[in-house]
Amino acid sequence: MTVTEPGTDRVALAADAADAEIVAAVEGWLQAHLPEDWQDAVARGDLAAVEAIREDPERGPAWFDLLGDSGLATPTWPVEHGGLGMPADRGAVVTETLARYRAERHQRDFVGLVLAGHTILEWGTPEQKAERLPALRRGREFWCQLFSEPGAGSDLAGLSTRAVRQDDGTWRIDGQKVWNSYAHLAGYGLLMARTDPAAPKHRGITYFLLDMRTPGVEPRPLRQMTGDAEFNETFLTDVVIPDSARIGPVNQGWSVAITTLMQERNGLSGRPAVGPGEADRLVGRAVETGAWEDPVLRDRLLEAYVEEKVLQMTTVRSFVASGDAAPTAEGSIRKLAHSVLAERLGVLGLDLEPDGGTAWDPEAGSEAADRFLAMKTYSIAGGTSEIQRNIIAERVLGLPKDPDPERHLPFNERGRS
Partner 1 sequence: MVHGVDAEQRGPEFGWTDEHRALRATVRGILAERAPVARARELAEAGERHDPALWSSLARDVGLQGLALPERHGGSGGTLLDLAIAVEEMGRVLYGGPFLSTVGLAAPVLLLGDDERAAATYLPEIADGVLTAALAVDTWVEDRVAVTADGAGALTGTVPVVLDGADADLLVVAACGPDGVAPYLVEPGAAGVERTPLETLDLTRRAARIQLAVTPASPLGAPGRGWEVLAAARAAASVLLAAEQVGGMTAATELTAEYARTRRQFGRSIGSFQGVKHRLADMSVRVELAHSAAYWAAWQPLGSPAQAYGAAIARSYCGDAFLQTGLDTIQLHGGIGFTWEHDAHLYLRRARADRTLLGTPVQARAELVPAATTEGIPA
Nearer residue to partner 1 within complex by CB, 174 or 406: 406
Is 230 annotated in the active site?
A: no
Q: Per CB under 8 A, does 276 bind partner 1?
A: yes
Out of 164, 229, 306, 359, the residue judged to bind partner 1 by CB under 8 A = 306
Three-class secondary structure assignment of the chain: CCCECCCCCCECCCCCCCHHHHHHHHHHHHHHHCCHHHHHHHHCCCHHHHHHHHHCCCHHHHHHHHHHHHCCCCCCCCHHHCCCCCCHHHHHHHHHHHHHCCCCCCHHHHHHHHHHHHHHHHHCCHHHHHHHHHHHHHCCCCEEEECCECCECCCHHHCCCEEEECCCCCEEEEEEEEEEECCCCCCEEEEEEECCCCCEHHHCEEEEEEECCCCCEEEEEECCCCCCCCEEEEEEEEEEECHHHEECCCCEHHHHHHHHHHHHHHHCCCCCCCCCCHHHHHHHHHHHHCHHHCHHHHHHHHHHHHHHHHHHHHHHHHHHCCCCCCHHHHHHHHHHHHHHHHHHHHHHHHHCCHHHHCCCCCCCCCHHHHHHHHHHHCCCCCCCHHHHHHHHHHHCCCCCCCCCCCCCCEHHHCCCC
Q: Per CB under 8 A, does 307 bind partner 1?
A: yes
Nearer residue to partner 1 within complex by CB, 78 or 270: 270
Q: How many chain residues touch partner 1 (CB under 8 A)? A: 45
Q: Per CB under 8 A, does 57 bind partner 1?
A: no
Choices 144-152, 304-312, 372-380, 406-414; region in contact with partner 1 by CB under 8 A: 304-312
Q: Per CB under 8 A, does 310 bind partner 1?
A: yes
Q: Per CB under 8 A, does 275 bind partner 1?
A: yes
Q: Per CB under 8 A, does 323 bind partner 1?
A: no
Out of 14, 130, 164, 399, the residue judged to bind partner 1 by CB under 8 A = 399
Q: Per CB under 8 A, does 283 bind partner 1?
A: yes
Q: Per CB under 8 A, does 51 bind partner 1?
A: no
Q: Per CB under 8 A, does 88 bind partner 1?
A: no
Choices 71-79, 165-173, 212-220, 292-300; region in contact with partner 1 by CB under 8 A: 292-300
Q: Interaction with partner 1 in 369-398: which residues (CB under 8 A)?
A: 386, 388-390, 392-394, 396-398
Positions marked catalytic: 264
Can you give the binding site for partner 1, defined by CB under 8 A?
274-276, 279-280, 283-284, 287, 292, 298-299, 301-303, 305-307, 309-311, 313-314, 316-317, 320-321, 330, 333, 336-337, 386, 388-390, 392-394, 396-403
